A and B are shown apart, each in its own frame.
Chain A
Amino acid sequence: MKKANILALFLLVLVVQVVFVPHVSIGGIQPDLPFLVAYAAGVHWGFLRGMAAGTGLGLLVDVAGGAAVGLSAMSGMMVGAAAGLLGGHVFRPTPAVHAGGLFGSVLLGGMTTLVLVQLLYSAYEWLDGMRAVVLPQTLYTVAVGLPAVLVFLNRIEKAERSRKTREEDAA
């Protein structure tokens, strides 16, 4: 993907997250789209690019949201890195592997944010934060995001396969 396309995708995800996603929140909990993008990037493009995508999107969220800069960047990076590890170790991930991987990655991202929020703002007790925010957020994000991630990864793989075939034919 070109750099301009990546930036456009990041901005689109951010706008959708701040404008549209709050309208589909359940009990005040909304799915976390930046985590989904970080996961997809990590699984498909590997550890470093997943880390970079998660950090970049997280920084954008931090700058737009007004909380401490680095908070969402750290959690996004964790999600991208975890997804990168998964993508690097599993040769052909099935939907079930993606479900588990996405759950684990988003859970890790949420737990990272919880720890940082506790350190920076002395807010949320551990169990309360896990029960009230991290777990519901993870379940909602996986429920909404798994089909989207599967479709997204499938399309990218198809596009890359057809590009390779074209290049081979041309050669």
Chain B
Amino acid sequence: MLSFLARHKNPVLFGLAVVSILLVLSAQAGGRRAFETIRRGAAVLLVPLEQGGSVLWRAAAGRVEEVRELAGARRENDRLRLEVRRLEAELARAGESEREAERLAALVHLARQTSVPTVPARVVARHPTNWFNAVTIDRGEMHGVEREAALLVPSGVAGRVVTVRAGSADAILITDPRSAIAVRNARTRDEAIMEGRGRGRCRLAYVGQGQEVREGDLLITSGMDEIFPPGLPAGKVVRVSGKGVGLFQEVEVEPVARLQALDEVAVTRREARGKMQGEKKP
């Protein structure tokens, strides 16, 4: 037996590793949350590294922009070269600040519009693989963020928080395969569930053959999930198929928010949940 193991060490260890990982995965099947302590422990180390990397990236991007502006300035006439260089660099910095201020102002406006208390947060990291659409934000429990808080952007809803730590949180975007939100067709008022499909796409689940859905229909949050405030744009129907075939229609949806370019988001604070629940009571 031992000689067999010694002779076939590689396949045996490979098999053991595969079985072990499958056991670990099966412990999490059906959306069961496990290994939270390990995740929290790792986050203590990883999130500061991610935040540091994010700051470095922003600084480097700013420098590149400055260099680009400076290269443009060199083409100006000689007399004005130095002056233009300085002004262009300043303009680049000011432009970036202005764009950031505009985005933040839009978030503040959104908070006023939705009338639910929110906290602004910055996206510091994205999910490391191509299979999930998730982000890490730099706001957590100490800022009033809790699990199932909604991530909002000026154009609509972006996602929801799934893990909260003291100063940061992980959130899945509405396109993530684990995401499902309650929506309503703005034209027909029909309610539905909008599920993430990965790769920047969503679909409407369980749309019966009797329901009328057209390409271009706007979907807004219904508030029935008690996560997202009602009436916010969530997606637009881009394709309807399977009419008259089977029980349900196939409805493909494109999110309204530009999720590939998320920099800042508004996160609903824990008071918001109570407020939304209060509004629903008769």
Contact = CB atoms under 8 A, between A and B. Distances in A.
Interface in B152-199: 162-163, 170, 172, 177-178, 196-199
Given A123-B198, A133-B130, A11 B49 contact: yes
A105 interface: no
A23 B124 CA distance: 12
A67 interface: yes
B42 interface: yes
Interface of A: 11, 14-23, 25, 28-30, 32, 34, 47-48, 51, 55, 60-61, 63-74, 77, 81, 113-114, 116-117, 119-124, 132-133, 137
Given A11-B49, A14-B46, A68-B25, A133 B13 contact: no
Contact of B57 (A19, A64, A77, A124): A19
Given A67-B127, A113-B131, A74 B25 contact: yes
Given A19-B50, A19-B57, A124-B177, A77 B129 contact: no
A61 B129 CA distance: 8
Contacts of B38: 63, 69
B199 A132 contact: yes
Contact of A34 (B56, B128, B197): B128
A29 B130 contact: yes
B57 A23 contact: yes
Nearest to A19: B53
Nearest to B131: A117
B21 A74 contact: yes
A51 B128 contact: no
Contacts of A63: 35, 38-39, 42, 46
Contacts of A68: 25, 28
Nearest to B172: A66
B21 A77 contact: yes
Contacts of B9: 48
B247 interface: no
B29 interface: yes
Interface of B: 9-10, 13-14, 17-18, 21-22, 24-25, 28-29, 34-35, 38-39, 42-43, 45-46, 49-50, 52-54, 56-57, 124-132, 134, 136, 162-163, 170, 172, 177-178, 196-200, 260
15 contacts: A14-B46, A22-B126, A28-B199, A63-B39, A63-B46, A66-B127, A67-B129, A68-B25, A69-B24, A72-B128, A74-B22, A77-B17, A113-B129, A133-B198, A133-B199
Nearest to B23: A70
A17 B130 contact: no
Contacts of A77: 17-18, 21
A17 B136 CA distance: 13
A121 B177 contact: yes
Nearest to B46: A64
B25 A116 contact: yes
